[in-house]
Amino acid sequence: MSASRSLSIYRGLLKEVTQQYTKGANNPLYAQELKSAYRKNKNVTDPEEIQILNNDAENVLTFLTSSRKHKELREMYSTIVMEQRKKIELSAKRVGLNLPKEYKPDQSAE
């Protein structure tokens, strides 16, 4: 069971590291470091030590996922970044309303 848990955590970490660091910076160093850390510990057989390593890796995965989601939410709801129209639209939706569609004279009615 711990081998499948380890693999699941590893895949999650690799996905987050690739998404946040490798693609953005076009630098494979972070993914390589992660792979080398897992290779270094591949011969660990003590169940307690495996449990400790898995818990540490799971904590890092939780941190990476949470920080990515936090960044996405800040970008989505930041009053500084958000354009005025989007703020009005979100405020209207919050109280159950929709903004009317804008009339654009260049579009022909069919």
Residue 9 lies in a domain: yes
Q: Which two tokens stand for residue 5?
A: 């848990």
For 59-86, write each residue's pLDDT tens digit. Answer: 999 999 999 999 888 877 776 656 777 7
Task: Kindly state whether residue 78 falls inside one of the protein's structural domains.
Answer: yes
On whether residue 107 sits in a domain, the answer given is no
b/e map of 13-48 (b: 16 or more CB within 10 Å)?
A: bbebbeebbbeeeeeeebbeebeeebeeeeeeeeee
Mean pLDDT (the chain, rounded): 84
Answer whether 0.75 is exceeded by the pTM.
no
Within-domain flag for 101: no
Give the domain extent around 85: 2-94
pLDDT for res 1: 46
Domain membership of residue 105 (yes or no) is no
* Count: domains in the chain: 1
Looking at residue 101, its pLDDT comes to 78
